[in-house]
């Protein structure tokens, strides 16, 4: 694959940013919103809660509607876990919230105990009733809390509590906060709305509560995981791709690992060019919270390692069961053995095309990458998973020379 491709706005930044518009009655304008299933779901939730939420050519315009509800129902929340991050804004703005618990996920056990711990620490009464979190408060009060879990910091728990704390009385300090660029982007948007936040991007975030927040306009950061996926596409196809609209600073852990594997990467302010000068080498990878190697790139680098001569060990420290793609890659002839949170990958010369099943967003991306270099045809089923997080993926890949197309099931 050769040529240039431009990355869309970050899914994992836009979802909490859209939820944050619930913190004000004034209009907000969000630019760089990717046209994804998940963006559409969050806009649906905002409408159900009582917002006018229009989307057109990457711009979401959100404003107050006449009726307001404090309920995020199971039907919508069960389709997208990230919708749970309306809890913080609702309890802060409306002093009550009823939000469905997210339910199961194929990538592993994903509790929300840290979210509830943080919101409780701000003084909300919380109960679980018929699968819903019911939260009430007369007034949230700032507090000092530790939000680290057994797998380290939590991105959406940090987002939820940070949003709630913006309208709490007094100061809140969140220790072991997530440092992901998407958390920083949310904080930047909240600050534009009038919030007082310091330390975002570090493990200690300080929020001084204010009486109210106003409307704001914001452009979402580029999607570093989409960018990382195209970096692997360049390496796995022995191509040369320039990925535009990227902040390479957000990809430190990925760039470091790919350079260790033999990638040749040229970074400029808003683009990265990726190709390979030598044969790709096997590398061991361990997923970690940001700035470590992202779990959302684990499946994609496994595809690359599956055709890289030698042994590589991939260790999943965030979601120890996030290996649904292993069986599908092995269906294509890969030699991957799973040992608890580790996958031992013995690289082979060539994968063979096969019908495979997508199980989640990043697993489906790894199957697309494997299909690009497998002999014959690979048909990937359940691609609705892909549409949740990649905007126009096949069109972007076709422009780079990939033979990828959509067929009716």
Residue 110 interacts with ligand EPZ (CB under 6 A): yes or no: yes
Query: If you count them, how many residues does the chain have?
Result: 409
Quote the least distance from Cβ 238 to ligand EPZ, whole Å: 27
Q: What angle do CA 229, 299, 232 make, to 5 degrees?
A: 30
Cβ atoms of 217 and 192 within 8 Å: the answer is: yes
Quote the least distance from Cβ 138 to ligand EPZ, whole Å: 25
How large is the greatest C-alpha to C-alpha distance in the chain, in angstroms? 64
Distances (CA, A) of 409 to 162, 192, 358, 368, 404: 43, 45, 13, 16, 15
Stretch that binds ligand EPZ, among 151-159, 168-176, 265-273, 302-310 (CB under 6 A): 151-159
Quote the least distance from Cβ 41 to ligand EPZ, whole Å: 11
Quote the least distance from Cβ 10 to ligand EPZ, whole Å: 9
The answer to whether 179 is a known catalytic residue is no
Give 123's contacts (C-beta < 8 A, 6+ positions apart): 137, 139, 140, 141, 143, 168
The single residue among 295, 298, 300, 364 that binds ligand EPZ, judged by CB under 6 A, is 295
Residue 120 interacts with ligand EPZ (CB under 6 A): yes or no: no
Residue 97 interacts with ligand EPZ (CB under 6 A): yes or no: no
Residue 154 interacts with ligand EPZ (CB under 6 A): yes or no: yes
Interface positions, 2-21, toward ligand EPZ (CB under 6 A): 12, 15
Binding-site size, ligand EPZ (CB under 6 A):
26
Query: Across-strand partners of 24?
Result: none
Sheet with strand 96-100: strands edge to edge: 71-72, 96-100, 132-136, 125-129
Quote the least distance from Cβ 212 to ligand EPZ, whole Å: 27
Residue 296 interacts with ligand EPZ (CB under 6 A): yes or no: yes
Q: Which is nearer to ligand EPZ, 287 or 378 (CB)?
A: 287
Give 327's contacts (C-beta < 8 A, 6+ positions apart): none
Q: Which is nearer to ligand EPZ, 101 or 210 (CB)?
A: 101
C-beta neighbour count of 62 within 10 angstroms: 25
Active site residues: 105
> Interface with ligand EPZ by CB under 6 A: which residues?
12, 15, 81-82, 109-115, 149, 151, 154-157, 178, 182, 295-296, 318-319, 361-362, 389
């Amino acid at each position: 694959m050769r040529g240039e491709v431009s990355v869309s706005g970050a899914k994992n930044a836009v979802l909490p940013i859209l939820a944050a518009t619930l913190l004000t009655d004034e209009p907000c304008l969000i630019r760089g919103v990717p046209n994804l299933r998940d963006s559409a779901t969050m806009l649906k939730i905002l409408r159900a809660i009582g917002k006018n939420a229009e989307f057109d050519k990457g711009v979401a315009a959100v404003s107050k509607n006449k009726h307001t509800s404090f309920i995020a129902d199971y039907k919508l929340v069960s389709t997208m876990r990230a919708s749970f991050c309306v809890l913080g804004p609702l309890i802060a703005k409306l002093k009550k919230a009823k939000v469905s618990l997210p339910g199961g996920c194929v990538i592993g056990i994903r509790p929300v105990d840290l979210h509830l711990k943080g919101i409780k620490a701000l003084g909300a009464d919380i109960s679980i009733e018929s699968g819903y979190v019911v939260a009430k408060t007369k007034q949230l009060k700032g507090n000092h809390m530790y939000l680290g879990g057994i797998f380290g910091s939590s991105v959406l728990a940090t987002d939820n509590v940070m949003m709630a704390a913006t309208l709490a009385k007094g100061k809140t300090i969140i220790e072991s906060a997530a440092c992901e660029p998407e958390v920083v982007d949310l904080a930047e948007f909240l600050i534009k709305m009038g919030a007082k936040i310091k330390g975002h991007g570090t493990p200690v975030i300080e929020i001084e509560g204010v009486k109210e927040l106003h409307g704001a306009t914001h452009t979402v950061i580029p999607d570093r995981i989409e960018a990382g996926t195209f970096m692997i596409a360049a390496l796995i196809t022995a191509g040369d791709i320039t990925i535009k609209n990227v902040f390479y600073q957000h990809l430190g852990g990925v760039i470091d690992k790919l350079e260790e594997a033999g990638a040749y990467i040229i970074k400029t302010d808003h683009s990265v060019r990726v190709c390979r000068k030598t044969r790709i080498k096997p590398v061991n990878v361990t997923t970690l919270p940001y700035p470590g190697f992202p779990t959302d790139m684990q499946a994609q680098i496994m595809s690359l390692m599956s055709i890289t001569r030698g042994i590589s060990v991939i260790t999943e420290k965030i979601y120890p069961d996030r290996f649904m793609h292993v069986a599908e890659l092995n269906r294509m002839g890969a030699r991957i053995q799973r040992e608890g949170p580790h996958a031992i990958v013995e690289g082979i010369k060539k994968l063979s095309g096969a019908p495979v099943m997508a199980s989640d967003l990043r697993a489906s991306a790894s199957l697309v990458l494997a299909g690009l270099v497998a002999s014959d045809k690979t048909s990937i089923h359940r691609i609705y998973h892909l549409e949740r997080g990649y905007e126009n993926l096949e069109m972007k890949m076709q422009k780079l020379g990939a033979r990828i197309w959509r067929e009716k099931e």
